[in-house]
Amino acid sequence: MGHKKDRFGSAIIMAMDFESIFIYGVLASSIAGLVYALLLIIQINKYGEGNEKMKAINKAIREGANAYLKTQFKSMIIPVLFLVIFLYYTGTASGMDIAIGRAGAFLMGAFFSGAVGFIGMSMAVKGNVRVANAAGKSFNEALKIAYRSGTITGMLTDGLGLLGGVIILLLFGPERAYAVLLGYAFGGSLIALFMRVGGGIYTKSADVGADIVGKLEKGIPEDDPRNPAVVADLVGDNVGDCAGMAADIFESYEVSIVAAMILGLAAFPGSIVGVVYPLVVRAIGIFSTIISTYFISISGGVGDAMKAIRRGYNLAAAISITGFVILAYYYIGGYVGDYLYGLRFAAATFSGIVLAVLINYITDYYTSKRHGPVKEIVDSTQTGPATTILSGLAVGYESTVTAIVAIAGTIIASAILFLPNYTMVAYGISLAGIGFLTLTGNNVSMDTFGPIVDNAEGLSEMANLEPKTREILEQMDAVGNTTKAITKGIAIGSAVLAAISLFNDYFQVAKIESLPLHDPQVFVGLLIGGGIPFLFSAIAIRAVSRGAFGMIKEVRRQFGENPLILEGKAKPDYGRCVSISTLAAQKELLTLGAIALLIPIVIGFLLHEYALGGYLAGAILSGQLLAVYMATSGGAWDNAKKSIEDGLLGGKGSDAHKAGVVGDTVGDPLKDTAGPALNPLLKVINLITLLIVPIVLTYKENWLVNLSISIPALAVIFIALWYSKRPPKM
């Protein structure tokens, strides 16, 4: 079966079977990624867990993490079921099969996102004790276990993200798949929002509480087993940095695929070439990640873990770039009848990889102990917490400008390739997003490496392992802090590119060509959208403050009622602190979810499609700036504190160290709770607007329908806001 194309004035005949081969090849690639994840699971489980004390501590961490996620999944059941009905209703206008498909795709996206987080976190917990044990034997073995444990999450993200998109494409065909793909993306984004926010609140409630009482008041080390909050803190690393980040990156991965597929159909009417190309690029990324895994090692004794990780990343990038250049030249170039023109698609994809590298270096510059910004914060600790906080704020603000220039440059570079065809411009920008996350497997591996080695270092301290082992793990933990900071930057950048691609989709679905900013309704939408990330962040940070309040009271109570705990002669009640963090996280999920989902509905039905477009634009801009600011300042404060702990300005216990701890405590909820939560928020807002705008257009002139939807939604929003402002229980 053939089809004729005359998209660029060059008519050629291509066999549909050729596209079919590509699609089924992508399907096979996604399955290969999942099989490789299974092989790594089997491989990791074969390594030893160490002595009985290490096993007991790891068991407590595992039980706490699993208990938290089970509680979180239960709390999400009602919203998910409600949204299944909502998704079904939004698809009825396109036919019963689309309505059922959209609701089913929503469930599939939600399930895949949750599965990536849960399985990835479980393997990270299994990996950390094995890393701690291996560090006593070989630095290289510990490095391999830590990175490959993280690669499991990366392969699940790649495999499941591609699998869902291809299944929907095969079931519904290219012309109808886009309507179902919106449900798939929305399911992944919603679960990621809940897991990112919940995990962030949990981990920082425990971390801040443990630091305030343990480090500042009692002067004991960070992972001292005498601290009642220490297990909750270690659990938090897993539910926040493993489960939360895994779900976050997964939804960015799938949303960028969905956006590119939708825009690909618009760019190549009647053809699936624009859909196939981004799918194959992602398939190439899977194999490049698998190959690069085996080049992450060091020879000899203790080596540079960061250098080894960068070597693997650079190799994966080289393989991917070579692959999609060949693909663009022969496949796209052959299709349009102009091979050099095909290279423009490769260049647009390559611009995304360039942005990933730039964000890598920008984040490293502003958060690494080696560079000026963190050194500036370290110097400021000599005059107390106030100057420490001020210098960190300045670093965060400056970093937003650098990051936004890099993102703007990428958008211009990918867009200019296809001017003046603005449909192709939008597709080119989506290809930058595809390129940006081509190395998702490596990015997720790097991110999960961080909490794995962090937990391993904590285990070594709690289990009182040999000084040499602890020294190796401390070195790996320092690298892990850098990889976590880098992948937070990657997550923010991916959120912005995906949001911009979805924003272009919105213009097509809403049937508008431009946003007239002089229109008061559009400008009001822009202002409200710009304010939402600040409101969202305020609620998340307030939740951490309440959780930390309860944690501090509990740790003080245990120390006060039983002095033997601080003397090391009695065991603290770790379980009570785990329960406090769990409760603090769950209380805010529905409040934040209501704000993310209902405010766009109110804007849409009260002010209609143009104002809703302005709302999107405002949210994307302020969300990106705020997310970079919070992630960078928090990471810089954290590493400034660690620099002092390494021996600068008097080391641990000095006045400079206490100022550094205060700065780190302020930065923790910024970099690990509010900042990362803005990534899924932007995509949830984009997707909910895409889903509701056809209904908004249908009932635009019916004031009764508009008010009957808007007034109850406003009531729920105000109740949620009132609930979020309640004072902590004394």
Per-residue model confidence (pLDDT) at position 4: 38
User: At residue 12, does pLDDT exceed 50?
Assistant: no
Quickly state the pLDDT bin for 9 (edges 50, 70, 90).
very low
Give domain status of residue 151, yes or no: yes
List beta partners, residue 2: 15
| Residue 411 is assigned to a structural domain of this protein | no
pLDDT band for position 728 (50/70/90)?
A: low
Percent above pLDDT 70 for the chain: 96
Helix (H) or strand (E) holding 101: helix 96-135
Do you find a cis peptide bond into 420, omega within 30 degrees of 0? yes
377 within some domain? no
> What pLDDT, on a 0 to 100 scale, did the predictor assign at position 302?
64
Q: State how far the Cα of 450 lies from the Cα of 660, in Å rounded to an integer.
A: 21
Assess contact for 675 and 488: CB atoms under 8 A: yes
Q: Which residue has the higher pLDDT, 78 or 613?
A: 613
* pLDDT grade for 392, boundaries at 50, 70 and 90: very high
Percentage of residues in the chain having pLDDT higher than 90: 30
One-letter amino acid identity for 301? G
Q: What are phi and psi of 515, to 5 degrees?
A: -110, 110
Residue 214 pLDDT greater than 50, yes or no: yes
Over residues 239-263, mean pLDDT: 80
Q: Over the stretch 270-327, which tens digit does the pLDDT of each residue have?
A: 888 998 999 999 999 999 999 998 888 876 566 678 888 888 888 999 999 999 999 9
Q: Averaged over 245-254, what is the pLDDT?
A: 79
565-603 per-position pLDDT tens digit? 888 888 888 888 888 888 877 777 778 888 889 999 999
Alpha helix ranges (H) inside 518-588: 520-561, 574-587
pLDDT digits 0-9 by tens, 30-47: 999 999 999 999 999 999
pLDDT band at residue 518 using 50, 70 and 90 as cut-offs: confident
What pLDDT shows up at residue 301? Answer: 60
Residue 363 has pLDDT above 90, yes or no: no
DSSP structure string for 520-531: HHHHHHHHHHHH
Provide the pLDDT for residue 533: 94
* Mean per-residue pLDDT over the chain, rounded: 86
Inside any domain, residue 354: no
Residues in CB range of 524: below 8 A, 6 or more apart: 607, 611, 614
pLDDT above 90 (res 265): no
**How high is the pLDDT of residue 32?**
95
- The answer on pLDDT for 11 being more than 60 is no
- Is 355's pLDDT higher than 60? yes
Owning domain of residue 586:
2-321+440-505+517-724
pLDDT of residue 532: 94
Q: Which residue has the tokens 């209904």?
A: 695
Phi/psi for 205 (5° steps) reads -60, -45
Would you call 284 exposed, middle or buried from its count of C-beta atoms within 10 A (0-12, 13-18, 19+)? buried
For residue 132, pLDDT beyond 70? yes
Residue 384 lies in a domain: no
| pLDDT value at residue 17 | 66
Summarize pLDDT for 641-657 with one digit per residue, the tens. Answer: 988 988 888 888 899 99
Report whether pLDDT(15) > 50: no
User: Looking at the domain assignment, is residue 346 inside a domain?
Assistant: no
Mean pLDDT of 106-121: 90
pLDDT at 10: 34
pLDDT at residue 300, as a whole number: 58
How many distinct structural domains can be found in the chain? Answer: 1
326 inside domain: no
**Cβ–Cβ < 8 Å for 267, 424:** yes
Query: Domain for residue 635, yes or no?
Result: yes
